[in-house]
Amino acid sequence: MVDAGITWKNLLTLALAVGASALVIARAPADDDAVFPMPAGKTYVNECGSCHTAFAPGLLPARSWRKMMAELSNHFGEDASLEEPHRLAIQKDLENLAADSPSSNMRMRRIHGAIAANAAPQRISETGYFRYMHDEVPAHIWKRKKIGTPGNCIACHTRANEGRYGEREVRIPPQ
Amino acid sequence: MKRLLPLLALLASLPARAETPQQILDGLVAQSGAASAARGEQFFRAKSAEGKTAESCATCHTDNPKAAGQHVKTHKTIDPIAPVAQKDRFTDPAKVEKWFKRNCNEVLSRACTAQEKADFVAYMISVK
């Protein structure tokens, strides 16, 4: 029969088990941090991040980025053409780090999994995973002046330009 | 020559040599006539009927060049455009040309003339 009463030995075992679990939890890959790999160097943030958040490539599949990079002269109604060497380098980075790239992490695979195989979405905010993650954000918050549009990631995700979208780093502007 | 290649590649990858706003202005004036800050200010605020999403420079950069602006469509914050408020403004000739090209096309649906660019930079330098 196992000694199940409150003894010092059992308390010690319990304490050790709790402590060990805490260590495991603390050291586990922090999925909640929602970190996406970003292109190396400054070209991407300088060229793409001047007008909008430097969106993490892992937020869309490679086919979306290929389509976008082929249509930069009419980029959501604006001319965002790049010098050809920059365009090619950026497209390569986007494809290498896309949601369906071999280097994708679990979150990127979930993003890709929620996109129809024949679709090449151009707006991250129209993907299933984005909607699912933001379904608790009420309409009046999106309308705040500092936010304005769901594509303005960096308004709330303060470190979005580093590929960090974790909830703990979200700061919603009060107006 | 082969040994020099990595060095040349490194040099080519370095950012363009930083200049001062005055040097950038001098470069533009050399292609136009004398610059006028007053004309530049008028140009900055003038409303264009050709604007695609922005009808004037001030639409995004606000009426006050010392204030942070906001992209009219993406709502991303834009650093102030006056060098007095944002040290790196008008220090990289390639960057200056890139944004004149994009934004003149955006607001005026055409390229800006050298005179317009010179006036614009003169106005920005004059903002204290």
Token duo for residue B57: 């420079």
Whole-angstrom Cα distance, residue A160 to residue B60? 22
Q: Which residues of A are less than 8 Å from B86 in CB distance?
A: none
For residue A148, the chain B residue with the least C-alpha distance is B75
Cross-chain Cβ contact A78/B74 below 8 Å: no
Q: Which residues of B are less than 8 Å from A53 in CB distance?
A: 74, 76
Q: In the predicted model, what is the mean pLDDT of residues B83-110?
A: 93
Residues of chain A by 3-state class (helix, strand, coil), percent to 5: 50, 5, 45
Whole-angstrom Cα distance, residue B19 to residue B93? 8
Whole-angstrom Cα distance, residue A170 to residue A129? 17
Whole-angstrom Cα distance, residue B51 to residue B35? 24
Q: Which of B74, B77, B102 sits opposite A79 (nearest CB)?
A: B102
Q: What is the pLDDT of residues B2-54, one digit of tens each?
A: 565 555 555 555 555 679 999 999 999 999 989 999 999 999 999 998 887 88
Q: Which residues of B are less than 8 Å from A155 in CB distance?
A: 75
State whether residue A155 sits within 8 Å of chain B by CB: yes
Q: In the predicted model, what is the mean pLDDT of residues A158-172?
A: 94
State whether residue A76 sits within 8 Å of chain B by CB: yes
Q: Say if CB B75 and CB A155 are below 8 A apart.
A: yes
Q: Say if CB A95 and CB A66 are below 8 A apart.
A: yes
Distance from CA of B32 to the nearest CA of A (A): 26
Smallest CA-to-CA distance from B58 within B67, B49, A28 is with B67
Q: What is the pLDDT of residues A56-76, one digit of tens each?
A: 999 999 999 999 999 998 999
pLDDT at A1: 56
Q: In the predicted model, what is the mean pLDDT of residues A6-14?
A: 88
Chain B contact residues (CB < 8 Å to A) = 52-53, 70-71, 73-77, 102, 105-106
pLDDT at B53: 81
Query: Is residue B96 predicted with pLDDT exceeding 60?
Result: yes
Query: Is residue A154 predicted with pLDDT exceeding 90?
Result: yes
pLDDT at B6: 56
Q: Which residues of B are less than 8 Å from A80 in CB distance?
A: 102
For residue B103, the chain A residue with the least C-alpha distance is A79
Q: In the predicted model, what is the mean pLDDT of residues B80-88?
A: 96
Q: Say if CB A38 and CB A56 are below 8 A apart.
A: yes
Cross-chain Cβ contact A152/B76 below 8 Å: yes
Report chain A's mean pLDDT, rounded to a whole number. 91
Q: Say if CB B66 and CB B127 are below 8 A apart.
A: yes
Q: Which residues of A are less than 8 Å from B76 in CB distance?
A: 51-53, 152, 154
Cross-chain Cβ contact A149/B52 below 8 Å: no
pLDDT band at A28 (very low <50, low <70, confident <90, very high): low
List alpha helices for chain A, DSSP H.
Answer: 8-27, 43-48, 62-70, 84-96, 106-113, 128-133, 139-142
pLDDT at B110: 93
Query: Is residue A29 predicted with pLDDT exceeding 70?
Result: no
- Helix, strand or coil for residue A45? helix
Query: Amino acid letter at B56?
Result: S
Distance from CA of A175 to the nearest CA of B (A): 13
To the question of pTM greater than 0.95 for the whole model, the response is: no
